């Protein structure tokens, strides 16, 4: 970092000790909440909190479009695609927080670091890139091993680090001459070019960040000078902080009734984002009786979609869920707005169950719900009541997320059903469906269905190879229909993140229902206005 930035960082670090203290008159402070852990190394993070941090601290070659699938230029001003070769021209006005200028060498270093460390979301590029090279200081070329249609969209997950700064802060480690690849340094510092730079970091409680005045993307009027990104605030505490004016934007995990109560406060308002996250009741397709497609279809028809959405309703305008029309959420290619929404049909459910080889009375169903999300218990109890009407004995268990992720990674230990929200990791449908349903992926919570189907695999593979976007949409439309028929999941609802914000806070990207950018890429702090309190 330059002397100027070091002095600024030191001053802000000293001021961060009083977390709830009133800001100085001339300083605008934005206080935002989310769940821990806040991982600031962009090549290690893989969840929503990590994404928000990475988006605001670091930059990528491209950025998700605001109005649907696809990307727009960001660090790259333009690019050319020739088969499996992608050539990017870089902007010439980008500097890192250290003062170092962005060059093609930083792109090469960042990609190599990401892949060598093999953590976070590096699997999105695994086996796809043959070489990456700096053609000149402002041109970088990726040569793929074969055509790979999602590559351009996946680049929203390749966050670019300041290679000079990282190389100057290597410690002992397991990566040969790269030591620890700067992991220890990036655990508490940043090497980004984004709108905000880290001044202090505690991944369990709070990350404090300062505005980077030289950010090439600019700032909205009244953008925050300091952002305090707080972790793990309980609902009761959050409610009190917002009511007292000691916090600005809640997390999205507040229970609907708490949000509804806060919405009645004249000093608060609601904002939301959604479009690329589905809430799926993941059915264990390898465990009887759900290894029989007719039994899975029976549960899919029996699921009470309407009352589930009622549970998520906050008021007449806001809800934490929207109806789904299959496995593809509304912001992704292949979504059909004219298809019928998923709806309960008990007659069809009984017809399918009659075709099932198993007697429901002999096969109790185990349903797990995530202990950290209270609303999930209500959905689980609703399933228990509905599935019991088909003759099943249903056991419901409250399961901590850490334990559930361990259980569902093995078909033998996974419950019959578990509600899990899954978000697209890029603006490409592949980043959602391939990770959930392709038989080749390593079993994780995303693929808790353990589906093994040759037709599904063939369509997913075809979509990766097809570069014509219209043809890819058709492939995903076919896949949408096939997955509804196979019913590896119950497509419960499209998740909508609803947040409570103070009236002094304006988040333009989360007030327009037409915004369909993938989640967490709307929480751009440089585009949030912090007005003076009236």
235-267 pLDDT, tens digit per residue, is: 999 999 999 999 999 999 898 999 999 999 999
pLDDT of residue 512: 56
Q: For 475-514, what is each residue's pLDDT tens digit?
A: 999 999 999 999 999 999 999 999 999 999 999 888 655 5
pLDDT of residue 509: 85
Peptide bond before residue 37 is cis, with ω within 30 degrees of 0:
yes
pLDDT of residue 442: 84
Q: For 281-305, what is each residue's pLDDT tens digit?
A: 999 999 999 999 999 999 999 999 9
Domain-wise residue ranges, the chain: 3-17+25-245+504-530, 274-496
pLDDT of residue 66: 84
Query: Which percentage of the chain shows pLDDT scores above 70?
Result: 94
* Cα 411–chain centre separation: 25
pLDDT of residue 384: 97
CA distance 348 to 352: 6
Which superfamily does 274-496 belong to?
A: Dipeptide-binding Protein; Domain 3 (3.10.105.10)
pLDDT of residue 36: 84
> pTM of the prediction?
0.88
pLDDT of residue 37: 83
pLDDT of residue 8: 36
Dihedrals φ, ψ of 24, to 5°? Answer: -60, 155
CA distance 422 to 319: 18
Task: Look at residues 466, 519, 456 and name the one whose alpha carbon lies nearest to residue 149.
Answer: 466
Q: For 195-239, what is each residue's pLDDT tens digit?
A: 999 999 999 999 999 999 999 999 999 999 999 999 989 999 999
pLDDT of residue 14: 35
Longest dimension (CA), the chain: 75
Lowest-confidence range among 30-34, 325-329, 335-339?
A: 335-339
pLDDT of residue 518: 80
Same fold, 3-17+25-245+504-530 and 274-496: no
CB neighbours of residue 133 within 10 Å: 12
Query: Which percentage of the chain shows pLDDT scores above 90?
Result: 82
pLDDT of residue 534: 47
Q: In what order do the strands lie in the sheet with 489-502?
A: 321-322, 489-502, 268-283, 417-423, 365-370, 394-399
Mean pLDDT of 30-34: 96
Q: Are 207 and 38 in contact (CB under 8 A)?
A: yes
417-423 vs 365-370, strand pairing mode: parallel
Q: What is the DSSP letter of 499?
A: E
CB neighbours of residue 20 within 10 Å: 11
Lowest-confidence range among 5-9, 161-165, 360-364?
A: 5-9
Q: For 429-461, what is each residue's pLDDT tens digit?
A: 999 999 999 999 989 899 999 999 999 999 999
Task: Look at residues 277, 279, 321, 294 and name the one whose alpha carbon lies nearest to residue 448.
Answer: 279
* Cα 502–chain centre separation: 24
Which CATH number is associated with domain 3-17+25-245+504-530? Answer: 3.40.190.10
**Average pLDDT for the chain:** 92
Q: For 165-180, what is each residue's pLDDT tens digit?
A: 999 999 999 999 999 9
Mean pLDDT of 90-114: 98
List % helix, strand, coil for the chain (3-state, nearest 5): 35, 25, 45
pLDDT of residue 515: 58
Per the listing, tokens 């391939």 go with: 434
Peptide bond before residue 94 is cis, with ω within 30 degrees of 0:
no
More confident call, 74 vs 46: 74
Peptide bond before residue 526 is cis, with ω within 30 degrees of 0:
no
More confident call, 487 vs 469: 487
Model confidence at 17, pLDDT cuts 50, 70, 90, reads very low
pLDDT of residue 20: 42
pLDDT of residue 163: 98
pLDDT above 50 (res 33): yes
Dihedrals φ, ψ of 49, to 5°? Answer: -60, -45
């Amino acid at each position: 970092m330059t002397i100027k930035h070091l002095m600024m960082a030191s001053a802000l670090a000293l001021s961060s000790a009083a977390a709830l203290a009133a800001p100085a008159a001339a300083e605008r402070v934005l206080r935002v909440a989310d769940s821990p852990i806040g991982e600031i190394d962009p090549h290690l993070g893989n969840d929503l909190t990590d994404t928000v941090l990475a988006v605001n601290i670091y930059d990528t070659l491209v950025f998700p479009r605001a109005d649907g699938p696809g990307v727009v230029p960001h660090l790259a001003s333009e690019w050319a695609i020739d088969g499996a070769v992608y050539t990017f021209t870089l902007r010439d006005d980008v500097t890192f927080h250290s003062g170092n200028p962005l060059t093609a060498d930083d792109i090469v270093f960042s990609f190599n670091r990401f892949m060598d460390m093999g953590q976070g979301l590096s699997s999105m590029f695994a086996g796809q890139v043959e070489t990456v090279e700096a053609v000149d200081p402002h041109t970088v070329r990726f040569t793929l091993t074969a055509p790979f249609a999602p590559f351009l969209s996946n680049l929203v997950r390749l966050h670019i680090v300041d290679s000079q700064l990282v190389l100057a802060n290597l410690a002992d480690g397991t990566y040969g001459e790269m030591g620890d690849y700067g992991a220890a340094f990036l655990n508490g510092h940043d090497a980004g070019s984004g709108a905000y730079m880290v001044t202090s970091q505690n991944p369990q409680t709070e990350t404090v960040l300062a505005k980077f005045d030289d950010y090439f993307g600019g700032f909205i009027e009244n953008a925050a000078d300091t952002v305090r990104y707080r972790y793990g605030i309980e609902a009761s505490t959050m409610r009190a902080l917002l009511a007292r004016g000691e916090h600005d934007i809640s997390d999205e995990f507040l229970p609907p009734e708490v949000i509804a109560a806060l919405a009645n406060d004249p000093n608060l308002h609601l904002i939301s984002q959604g479009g690329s996250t589905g809430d799926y009741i993941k059915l264990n397709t390898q465990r009887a009786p759900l290894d029989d497609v007719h039994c899975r279809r029976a549960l899919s028809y029996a699921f009470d979609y309407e009352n589930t959405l009622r549970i998520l309703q906050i008021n007449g305008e806001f809800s934490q869920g929207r109806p789904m029309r299959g496995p593809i959420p509304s912001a992704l290619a292949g979504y059909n707005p004219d298809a019928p929404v998923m709806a309960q049909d008990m007659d069809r459910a009984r017809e399918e169950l009659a075709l099932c080889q198993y007697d429901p009375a002999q096969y109790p169903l185990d349903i797990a719900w995530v202990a950290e999300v209270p609303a999930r218990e209500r959905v689980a109890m609703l399933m228990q009541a509905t599935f019991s009407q088909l003759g099943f004995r249903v056991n419901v268990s409250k399961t901590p997320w850490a334990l559930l992720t361990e259980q569902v990674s093995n078909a033998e230990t996974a419950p019959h059903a578990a509600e899990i929200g899954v978000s697209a990791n890029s603006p490409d449908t592949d980043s959602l469906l391939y990770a959930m349903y392709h038989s080749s992926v390593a079993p994780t919570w995303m693929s808790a269905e353990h589906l093994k189907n040759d037709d599904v695999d063939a369509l997913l593979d075809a979509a990766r190879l097809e570069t014509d976007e219209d043809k890819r949409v058709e492939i995903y439309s076919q896949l949408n229909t096939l997955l509804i028929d196979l019913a590896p999941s119950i497509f419960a609802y499209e998740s909508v993140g609803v947040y409570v914000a103070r009236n002094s806070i304006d988040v333009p990207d989360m007030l327009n229902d037409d915004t369909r950018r993938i989640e967490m890429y709307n929480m751009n702090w440089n585009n949030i206005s912090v007005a003076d309190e009236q």
